[in-house]
Structure 1
Amino acid sequence: MVIQHNLQAMNSNRQLGITTSNSAKSQEKLSSGYKINRAADDAAGLSISEKMRKQVRGLDRATDNSYDGISLVQIADGAMAEVHDMLHRVNELSIQAANGTMSESDRWDCQREIEKIKDEIDAIHDRTKFNEIPVLQGRTIVSDGVEIRPARMETVTVTEKVWRKIKVPKKEIQVSGGDLPEWFMNGVDQESLNAGVMKSTYQAGNGNTYVSTYIDLAGFDASKVSDLDGKGFYATCCAGCRARYSIKFSADSDTNSSTMSGNNRIYTVGIQGAATPGELMDRIRKATKGSSQLGNPNNHYTWFEKDGTKLIIYDSSGNGVNKASETGLFGLGVATEVVTGEEEKDVLVNETHQEEVRKDAEYAKIKTLLHNNIDIHAGTDADMLNKIFIELPYISTDALNMEDINVAAPGGAEESIRRMDYAIAYVSAERSRMGAYQNRLEHTVNNLANVVENTQAAESRIRDTEIAEEMVRLSVHNILANAGQSVLAQANQSTNGVTALLQG
């Protein structure tokens, strides 16, 4: 028995301290309602939660922004509704003044009322505002338009481009020619390094016949790459050009290069990693590309094309050269373009039709107007996808072409009636546009509410305390604390035996 160290009491005290700490954390979570009260509670969860809180609060503000936009649009619509009523009254007065039973003084009475209506339209233009922002001054007048003429219907020819399926001749190049392989037993012929010309049979050019030959590469695979190192073949351009193109393979590289030998060009084709005839042909065609085409050396008439496992080499010049009976490097041949049937292709064609249009612009004295926008920020990010641009209407007697209306003047009433057609249609179009903005903003609000609700639910699962679960944990901690206190008390009594021994 020892008295310097009471290990039982120390152990009981340590466990009681842990239980007390856990109990305090549970009480904190229950009293605050949050299971994350500090970063140490859940470091990753805190980061995710704060990001979601930023989004939720930003979206709440975006919702308020959208509601402000709706309020602005409704103010504009309400003001234009009053303008509509006034325009209908002007139209009514103009029709009244156009009647032959009206005296001149009667027409002046109509005109005086119209003048007051014009004054009120401009007053509404000036004083209709939302948060000190004018809502009916969305555009700036910069120049005058055309003279006033009666509207008329006119038949015009309209041309538009449309896609149509049309049948076209299906053509292909049919080739007869030579062969080479036995895996290119020949190297690059030495004549190509000098001024030689590949000997092939030339056919009289008629636009459809080409000098040609081919190499069948059906036996090529990855095992042949090393065999081709340093080997190759050559082709030529037409008899008039007489240029030679030598193809030399390099098995240790996958890059291409070219050099000149006199007037002739030598292409080094990197074939490292090629494994199929198609890959080998692609390497050859890429190495011999011209400025914009594959397999067209230096934009001359020589072409390299793929046809299954065959590399077709032909001269497309169509020159009327003399036919020569000569033998090429690996045979001679002819490529002929033949029609093998028909095929459908989508082609963009011009189609015209007659259409009746109303020539409004020729009678409405419209001014050139520049739109001003107000943007509603309806998202949490700074990019333009989060902005809804509202093109504000411009309503004034100037824009409505009403400034010089005078129903008391000869012919003025009829002119006023014509102008009212335009003015009423103009305001109707602006009100429709504002209505479309309001509908869009209401849809935006509905979507924002959905995003906020579901984001808030996700954040709650991370951050909020589940009260029932935490109460269970607190009860367990309390029971353990009581037990720990009892055990600690008993451990502290364990040294009583030492006292009894000393007394004895």
Structure 2
Amino acid sequence: MIINHNMNAMNAHRQMGINTVNSGKAMEKLSSGLRINRAGDDAAGLAISEKMRGQIRGLDQASRNAQDGISLIQTAEGALNETHSILQRMRELAVQASNDTNNESDRGQIQKEINQLTSEINRIGNTTEFNTMKLLDGTHSDKAVKEKISIAQAKNYGEMANSPKATWSGKYKFNITSDGVEDGIEFKGKDTSGVNWGALNKDKTNTLLITADKTKGTFKVDGTFEIDDNTSLQIKSEQMTLNEAGDTYTYNNHGIKFQISKEEFDKATDKDSVKLNLVKDAKAAENVTTSNVKTKNDWDNNDADATKASVLKDFEVLESDQRPDGLDQVELKLNKDDKTLTISFKNTKVSNDPIIKETIKLGTDINNKTIDYNSNGVKFKFTTPAKAESSQITIKLDQQDKIKTEDKSLTFQVGANEHQSMALSLGDMRSEALGISSSKGGEGFKASQEVTRGTDNDPIESALDVSTHKTAENAITTIQSAIDKVSDERAKLGAVQNRLEHTINNLGTSSENLQAAESRVRDVDMAKEMMNFSKNNILAQAAQAMLAQANQQPQGVLQLLR
């Protein structure tokens, strides 16, 4: 019998501590209703549960997003319902005006109502908003096409004295990429003189026109590409030719500067060298992305003999819109004494020094000379002909651009993770976009502008003309087309709304099932945990009683001392 260590008491004490801790944990779980209150309760389960919680909250928010999307759609569709009503009334008025029982005064009264109804359609399109976002003015249309195509074409030709004729030619090919769809475009060139620069008209059909400054002819490079049923671009080129010593031509439009000065060309045939600089003073175009710029040349050269070529008499540059980055300057110099032709390409974004500078000796070295250019994604190559048979030497930079248009459609996040969204394009539902008014007038529209934006009293557009039987009859067809367009837009909105309703149902089901799985990981089984609590509580009380008994055992030693 020992008295220094009461092993029975120590064991009872240890067991009582274990039971007390287990009883406390059970009480904690019963109090919170959670099986996992800290990472120590179930480390792996905690990580899995938190991931599920993130998905659940994301699904719930996505469901709310879809509901907000439905509200936005209902706002737009409700506004278009009123637009439909207005158009139906306008069609009714056009039918009435088509009847020759109406005199000029009667049709004038009908015209007044047509004007006001057209202005109201503009007001609806300009003011319909959801959360301060305009819905029907075309801001969120996916048909936003790049206004300016980034194209480079430098056509440099000079007349070599006493040399036969030879011409280099090439084709322009463009790939327009919009939402993954590519449309081809091909340009073919002709040359002439006496042409001034034109301008770009921004409307449904964008046209770049050329006007003749002198009566020497015109220059046309025709090509059309079409992005969709409503948007196309026709370019008819830009060209300038200097034929007379002492002339100075200057062009500055859309950030592109071009000048041929008197000092450089005055009496060019008597000078040792002549120079032309084609410099781009770039201004960034809004909402324009240009990428993957490539150039491909396909030359068909004629044989010629240029051994006697010595003097450059004429020089011409052709440019369509903007050049891409990487080609800021093209310079050609001809030195008659040294019988050399120097061609330099410069990029002012990198430095003012030439990126490529090639000197070709007139005569032997001019044959089969190849020059490569590759900078900032712009690539081209040209090779001199084996023999020159022309007094004209032409250099073209044949180029291929790929252009990505900007998608301005609305995006609804309808999932808990990345790339789980859907897009909605809202078309322009104002009167001019519907074809029932025109800012430029024209056939079928009134000569005077009496249609406003709807938000002020300033007339900006001409309404449909219903002043005669013929014009009123044409207006019926035009208004019917507008009704059909609004019907298409409303049908699209209704289809998207139905889709979003199904999306909400799906998200709710997914969230519910994932919540059930997360509950099995995180929540406590109350009945089972109550059983554990009762067991641990009883064991703790029993251990406490046994500890009291064990503490009494050493007192038996006192009996031996009596």
TM band (smaller chain): 0.5 to 0.7
Show the counterpart of 1:35: 35
Structure 1 counterpart of 2:497, which letter?
A: Q
Contact 2:98–2:469 (8 Å) recurs in 1 = no
SS of the residue 1:372 aligns to: coil
SS in 1 for 2:422: strand
Partner of 2:514: 455
Q: Deviations over 1:229-250 (max 9, x none)?
A: xxxxxxxxxxxxxxxxxxxxxx
User: 2-side partners of 1:371 and 1:99: how far apart?
Assistant: 46
Cα deviation for residue 371 of structure 1 reads 6.6
Change (3 A) 1:371 1:402: farther
By how many angstroms is 1:144 displaced? 3.2
Q: Distance in 1 between matches of 2:204 and 2:51?
A: 54
Residue of structure 2 in register with 1:373 after alignment: 409
Question: What is the TM-score normalised by the length of structure 2?
Answer: 0.48
Cα offsets for 1:371-404 (capped at 9, x unmatched): 7301111112223xx0101111220001111113
Structure 1 counterpart of 2:412, one-letter code: I
| CA apart distance, 1:127 | 1.0
Residue-by-residue CA offset, 1:284-336 (whole Å, 9 max, x unaligned): xxxxxxxxxxxxxxxxxxxxxxxxxxxxxxxxxxxxxxxxxxxxxxxxxxxxx
- For the pair 1:489 / 2:525, whether they are aligned, the reply is no
Counterpart in 2 of 1:392? 426
Q: How does 1:239-254 map to 2 (within 5 A)?
A: none
Alignment counterpart, residue 204 of structure 2, candidates 144, 151, 169: 144
Shift in CA distance, 16/49, structure 1 to aligned 2, threshold 3 Å: same
Percent of pairs with identical residues = 48
Q: Tell me the secondary structure at the aligned position of residue 410 of structure 2.
A: strand
Q: Give the 3 Å change call, closer, same or farther, for CA 370–421 of structure 1 in structure 2.
A: farther
Larger fraction in helix: 1
Q: Which residue in the other structure is 1:426 paired with? A: 485
Q: Which residue of 1 aligns with 2:120?
A: 120
Name the amino acid aligned to 1:461: R
Q: Which residue of 2 aligns with 1:413?
A: 472
Separation of aligned partners in 2, 1:434 and 1:94: 28
Cα separation, 2, equivalents of 1:372 and 1:382: 19
Q: Which has the higher contact order (CA 8 A, sep 6+)?
A: 1
**Residues 451, 430 of structure 1: CA spacing in aligned structure 2 closer, same or farther, 3 A cutoff?**
same
1:160-199 aligned at under 5 Å gives the runs none
Answer yes or no: is 1:85 the counterpart of 2:85: yes
Call closer, same or farther: CA 1:86–1:94 in 2, change over 3 Å: same
Q: Indicate if the aligned counterparts of 1:121 and 1:396 stay in contact, CA closer than 8 A.
A: yes
2-side partners of 1:103 and 1:370: how far apart? 50
Q: How many angstroms apart in 2 are the aligned matches of 1:444 and 1:43?
A: 34
- Give the equivalent residue in structure 2 for 1:59: 59
Partner of 1:24: 24
Measure the CA separation in 2 of the matches of 1:7 and 1:437. Answer: 78
SS of residue in 1 equivalent to 2:424: strand
Q: Is the 8 A contact 2:465 2:475 kept in 1?
A: yes
Distance 1:370 1:74, change over 3 A: farther
Change (3 A) 1:370 1:495: closer
Cα gap change, 1:370/1:26 in structure 2, threshold over 3 Å: closer, same or farther? closer
Query: One-letter code of the match for 1:402?
Result: I
The secondary structure found in structure 2 opposite 1:388 is strand
For residues 372 and 77 of structure 1, what CA distance do their matches in structure 2 show?
19
The alpha-carbon distance between structure 1 residues 476 and 106, as it changes in their structure 2 partners (threshold 3 A), is: same
Q: CA separation of 1:30/1:486 partners in 2, compared to 1, >3 Å: closer, same or farther?
A: same
**Distance verdict in 2 for CA 1:80–1:414, change over 3 Å:** same
Mapped contact 2:46–2:522 kept (Cα < 8 A): yes
Secondary structure at 1:411 match in 2: helix
Partner letter of residue 99 of structure 2?
A: N
Indicate the residue corresponding to 2:449 in structure 1.
Answer: none
Taking a change above 3 Å as real, the CA distance of residues 421 and 130 of structure 1, as seen in their structure-2 partners, is same
Show CA shifts across 1:26-70 (max 9, x none).
000010110001111111111111111010011111111111111
CA displacement 1:224-273 (0-9 Å, x = unmatched): xxxxxxxxxxxxxxxxxxxxxxxxxxxxxxxxxxxxxxxxxxxxxxxxxx
Tell me the number of residue pairs that the alignment of Structure 1 and Structure 2 aligns.
Answer: 279
CA distance in 1, matches of 2:41, 2:5: 35
Find the aligned partners of 2:96 and 2:21 in 1 and give their Cα distance. Answer: 92
Alpha-carbon distance in structure 2 between the residues aligned to 1:410 and 1:424: 21
**Aligned-pair CA distance for 1:408:** 2.2
Check the 8 A contact 1:372/1:392 in 2, yes or no: no
**In the aligned structure 2, how far is the partner of 1:88 from the partner of 1:17?**
86
Question: Which amino acid in the other structure matches residue 31 of structure 1?
Answer: S
- Larger radius of gyration between Structure 1 and Structure 2: 1
Calculate the aligned-residue CA RMSD, in Å: 1.8
2:12 aligned residue: 12
Secondary structure of 1:389's counterpart equals strand
SS at match of 1:407: coil
Q: Could you tell me how far apart the structure 1 residues matched to 2:28 and 2:406 are?
A: 61
Amino acid at match of 1:376: F
Following superposition, the deviation at residue 441 of structure 1 comes to 1.1
Please give the secondary structure, in 2, of the residue aligned with 1:51. Answer: helix
Contact 1:402/1:419 (CA < 8 Å) preserved in 2? yes
Per the alignment, do residues 90 and 145 of structure 1 end up closer, same or farther by CA in structure 2, a change over 3 Å counting? Answer: farther
Q: Is the 8 A contact 2:98 2:468 kept in 1?
A: no
CA distance in 2, matches of 1:468, 1:496: 44
Cα distance between partner residues in 2 of 1:489 and 1:109: 111
User: How far apart are 1:498 and its partner, in Å?
Assistant: 2.0
Return the offset for 1:412.
2.1
Asked whether the 8 Å contact 2:80–2:490 carries over to 1, the reply is: yes
CA contact (8 A) 2:62 2:414 kept: yes
Amino acid at match of 1:381: N
Separation in 2 of the partners of 1:447 and 1:372? 27
2:500 — aligned with what?
441
Equivalent-residue separation in structure 1 for 2:16 and 2:7 (angstroms): 14
Contact 1:63–1:378 (CA under 8 A) maintained in structure 2? yes
Cα separation, 2, equivalents of 1:500 and 1:414: 130
Cα distance between partner residues in 1 of 2:558 and 2:422: 87
Between the aligned partners of 1:395 and 1:370, the Cα distance in structure 2 is 20
Matches for 1:339-378 after TM superposition, within 5 Å: 372-378=408-414
- What is the distance in 2 between the residues matched to 1:52 and 1:400? 49
- Shift of the alpha carbon at 1:416? 1.1
1:244 is matched with which residue? Answer: none
- The amino acid that maps onto 1:459 is E
CA contact (8 A) 2:58 2:416 kept: yes
TM-score, structure 1 normalization: 0.54
Residue in 1 aligned with 2:100? 100
Structure 1: where are the runs of 5+ without partners?
147-368
The CA deviation string for residues 62-112 of structure 1, in whole angstroms up to 9 with x for no partner, is 111111111111111111111000000000111111112112111111111
